[in-house]
Amino acid sequence: MSGRPRLGLRTESIKSLLRLERFPHIWCPGCGIGTVVKCYAEAVLESGIPIEKHVVVSGIGCTSRAPGYIKLDGFHVIHGRAIPFAVGLKTVRQDLEVTIIAGDGDLLSIGGNHFIHAIRRNDDINVILVNNFIYGMTGGQYGPTTTIGSITTTSPYGFIEGSFNVVYLAAALGANFVARWTPLHTKELTSAILEMFKVDGFALIEVVSPCLIYGEMNNLPPLEVMKVFRDRAVIDHDADLSKAYIDLRDPKKPIVLGNFVRRSRPSYQVLARELIKRARGG
């Protein structure tokens, strides 16, 4: 599609992509994952790509329950293995638009090695990484994106290990598209997902999201986190990503958002096709 996408589809249109028989969903009040699913569904409908060509994949965790509510071909695989499954699917069926919707723990902890090497290879997959700074489903343990000083069940006196700056990591590894938005920025998030569908190569959108579990332990309930997004969000598409780490607890620290990286490095799948063609003498 060209030009600015037509956003704000009617509720009935969005419902056509939801498995309403499985509602009510499992997500806590104030969680941002439902909004992410809504934005993804809206982007799928706006994309012009046939519904049967869209596939959604996840691992394990709160965010990874998303495919169970989306009326598309979907795969809910084992913990940390969403990326290799999606890579295999895309390599065999390059006509598909393969999107992962999963959390920071699943993709960056047990799945961290897959994350860095898929970007290194520049696999042609889409990754929507919902970052809520904690393992919410399993009891509130700290994870790879938990910020310094945060209280969790495994850091009861405050987290001291340091955390990934997700967008800086992905950009440094060579991802073709890197963005960060929040559930408050629904139009921007939907537009970014639409842009991600056009990318040949690894595309990442980090969605910084409230979590009730994190909030209960850190005096940051979901509504307060949304106020932080409203008051401290700075949209800067040309930001210095080395300084774009997130600290919800520091009132002076901006939440830097934007579509930061757009490259045209050829994907692994394109290069593999060319290699096979040369090997066959074509």
- pLDDT per residue as tens digits for the range 243-271: 999 998 889 999 999 999 999 999 999 99
* Distance separating alpha carbons of residues 269 and 266, to the nearest angstrom: 8
Summarised one tens digit per residue, pLDDT across range 184-223 is 999 999 999 999 999 999 999 999 999 999 999 999 999 9
Listed in sequence order, the residues at least 6 apart from 264 whose beta carbon sits closer than 8 Å to its beta carbon are 176, 200, 201
pTM exceeds cut of 0.75: yes
Q: Fold for domain 11-279?
A: Rossmann fold (3.40.50)
- Secondary structure E strands in 49-122: 54-58, 73-76, 97-103
For 21, other C-beta atoms within 10 Å of its C-beta total 7
Q: What percent of the chain has pLDDT over 90?
A: 91
The domain spans of the chain are: 11-279
| C-alpha separations of 245 from 174, 254, 255 in Å | 18, 9, 8
Mean pLDDT of all residues belonging to the chain:
94
